[in-house]
Structure 1
Amino acid sequence: MAAPYLALGLAGPHLLELTTNRALLARWDGLPVAFTVLGIDRIDGSAPAAATLASSAAAATLAGATKGGRFFVTATPQRDHPYNIARRTASLGHLSHGRSGLLIGVRDAYAPPSPTQTLAWEDTKRGGRTPLNAQTAFDAARAVRALEQSWPYDSIIGDRDTGILVQSNRIVHVDIETSFSIAGPLNAPEPATGASVIAWYAATVADAPPAHADNPVDLVLGAAGPVPVVRLGQEPPPGAHTGVVLRAGLDQSVSELLDTAQRWLADGFAAVAPGASLRAALDLPAPKPLPSTARAAFPVPQPHVSP
């Protein structure tokens, strides 16, 4: 069996450390790990730290300041509506040239508390709020995948002869009616590398994504998936795994994490060359396209050549 790949997990304070230290950032960018989870403490049940940086804000910094490192941003429907998650995910896909992806969780440790801690984003159309559970998170993941695909990248043709910049009839409504009601489409095109990788965090079997024919989850992280998470200071887990996420604690530094990662890579973990897209690096298949019956958002564009 092929050797597992190595990935990294950073908590909120580590994001501040990494994005404010150019030498450390350069070292991280050249390390042959599969990916890094930015803000893993948001979704793994950890208590919030005293200081943090938004996962997507850190990702935007990394996307512009690096060329090789790959990363997942963390998000939950507790804090953000799926439309906003999709918009940020697509934007990061463009900025990073496909080196980014989305890790969905059920709860965000840094989200403002609600009266019962059991409610997700408000659904004003239905006049209430959605339960904060695995089904809601899964519905959010499905919405993000569909919204990213609602504006195909190759619909942007820039045809000077006809004056048609975009085949706008290929931009479609997603017409979602699950835990969320979304017509769509997204107001940003799909990244050039295709729809972003969507991962799921599952600490136990009970946290696994719900079974569904239209499953947008490309990868499951955590004890219940093929890519377990281990703490810095622990040994690699026994058994066969696709990969392992090595996660630093709040009392440990990014430099310590990178030191251990280099030792593990020299001791049998598979190196994954920096620079390729996240989907290519993980050898994941392209997601299924939206149905051909999806409702067009705009009419077929007509030539408008300037005289």
Structure 2
Amino acid sequence: MADPFLALGLTGSAVLRLLDDPELRADWDDLPLAFSILGIDLLDGRAGPAAATVDGSAAAAVLLARTVAARVLVPAPPRRDHPYNLARRVASLGHLSTGRSGVVFGSLDHASPSEDPWAEAAEVSVDTSPTGRAVAAARAVRALERSWPLESVVGDRDSGIFVRSDEIHHVDVEGIYRIAGPLTVPEPLHGPSVIAWYAAGAHDAPETDGAVETDGAVDLVIGGASPVPVVNPGEAIPGDATGVVLRSQADSDLAEVLATARRWLADGARPTDRSRPLRTALSLPTPARDRGRPAFAVPQPHPWL
């Protein structure tokens, strides 16, 4: 079996250190990591009232602008954002980062309100548990990000058609979140953003016979019983892992975490090509596009051309 890739799970306090310290940020950017989760404590339930929490997408925008190779996953706990707003931020990060970003969902979140302010009154058959809401949000983000194909932006001077707008389609999401779409941002140049799922426990993943029930929305499962376990410094890398996430602690010194990552990369973990977008770095296939009803009519050439 090939050596596992190495990723980092950074707490909110560690992310703040990266934002504040150019030398640490350069050391982090220099590591051939698969990705870093910006605020893993939001996903594993450790982020309490006293924890340092950050807006993952805002932190990612700053960090990606100040690095050349680092790849990140932005946490998206349930109840924090409406899926439409989240999809717009995820797609925008995909453009700004040249494919170095993605989003990770999970069912735990101790830092948000107890009620979901965005959810609609759903039918009894709809799963409204924290896991069900997170899965529904992941499905909506995937559908929304793919609702405006980038190849539809043609900029045809001869016809005066900027976008083949008939290729933009509605998503018609029903259930917990009711969204017609489409998104107001085209799909990123390097394809749909990576969507991951964080399993805080062995059974904290929406699975049936080993397949995640997200209609293909989830590309990668992290933690739990998945082949990408989350481990603490000082623990051994599991022998059957395809990847491993080194998790920082609330009191971890970020320089020591980066030094541990460097040691692991030299002995037991596989360096990841720093020049590749996140999806290709993880060898993840591009999900199929489900086209819904067109959002606009077929564009016509301008009459004065």
Query: Structures share a fold, TM > 0.5?
Result: yes
Shift of 1:209: 2.1
What is the 5 A alignment of 1:7-86? 7-48=7-48, 49-86=50-87
Measure, in 2, the Cα distance between the counterparts of 1:248 and 1:242.
Answer: 20
Q: Which residue of 2 aligns with 1:281?
A: 281
SS at structure 2 position matched to 1:131: coil
Q: Which residue of 2 aligns with 1:4?
A: 4
Shift of 1:190: 0.6
Could you tell me which amino acid in structure 2 is paired with residue 209 of structure 1?
Answer: P
Measure, in 1, the Cα distance between the counterparts of 2:67 and 2:54.
Answer: 18
SS at structure 1 position matched to 2:116: strand
Structure 1, residues 168-214: CA drift from partner, whole Å, max 9, x if none?
A: 11110000112211101011111011111100011223211244372
What is the 5 A alignment of 1:179-198? 179-198=176-195
SS at structure 1 position matched to 2:261: helix
Could you tell me which amino acid in structure 2 is paired with residue 89 of structure 1?
Answer: V
Instruction: Extract structure 1 runs of 4+ deviating beyond 4 A.
Output: 124-127
1:78–1:132 CA contact under 8 A, matched in 2:
no
SS at structure 2 position matched to 1:221: strand
Shift of 1:64: 1.1
Measure, in 2, the Cα distance between the counterparts of 1:213 and 1:266.
Answer: 36
Question: Any stretches of 5+ residues in structure 2 without a counterpart?
Answer: none
> TM-score under structure 2 normalisation?
0.92
Structure 1, residues 97-119: CA drift from partner, whole Å, max 9, x if none?
A: 100011001232321x33xxxx3
C-alpha RMSD of matched pairs (Å): 2.0
Q: Which residue of 2 aligns with 1:302?
A: 300
Measure, in 1, the Cα distance between the counterparts of 2:88 and 2:121.
Answer: 21
Q: Which residue of 2 aligns with 1:174?
A: 171
Structure 1, residues 109-137: CA drift from partner, whole Å, max 9, x if none?
A: 321x33xxxx323335769xx83421211
> TM-score under structure 1 normalisation?
0.92
Structure 2 residue corresponding to 1:162, chosen from 159, 162, 176: 159
Could you tell me which amino acid in structure 1 is paired with residue 246 of structure 2?
Answer: L
Q: 1:124 to 1:136 in 2, by over 3 A?
A: closer
Structure 1, residues 231-257: CA drift from partner, whole Å, max 9, x if none?
A: 12x222333111000011111122111
1:32–1:273 CA contact under 8 A, matched in 2:
yes
Question: Does residue 123 of structure 1 match 2:123?
Answer: no
1:125–1:181 CA contact under 8 A, matched in 2:
no
Question: Any stretches of 5+ residues in structure 1 without a counterpart?
Answer: none
Q: 1:157 to 1:21 in 2, by over 3 A?
A: same
Q: 1:289 to 1:251 in 2, by over 3 A?
A: same
2:42–2:75 CA contact under 8 A, matched in 1:
yes
What is the 5 A alignment of 1:245-256? 245-256=245-256
Structure 1, residues 131-167: CA drift from partner, whole Å, max 9, x if none?
A: 3421211111010000000000111111111111111
Shift of 1:40: 0.5
1:107–1:132 CA contact under 8 A, matched in 2:
no
SS at structure 2 position matched to 1:19: helix
Identity %: 54
Measure, in 2, the Cα distance between the counterparts of 1:223 and 1:44.
Answer: 11
Q: Which residue of 1 aligns with 2:94?
A: 93
Q: 1:43 to 1:58 in 2, by over 3 A?
A: same
Structure 2 residue corresponding to 1:199, chosen from 185, 191, 196: 196
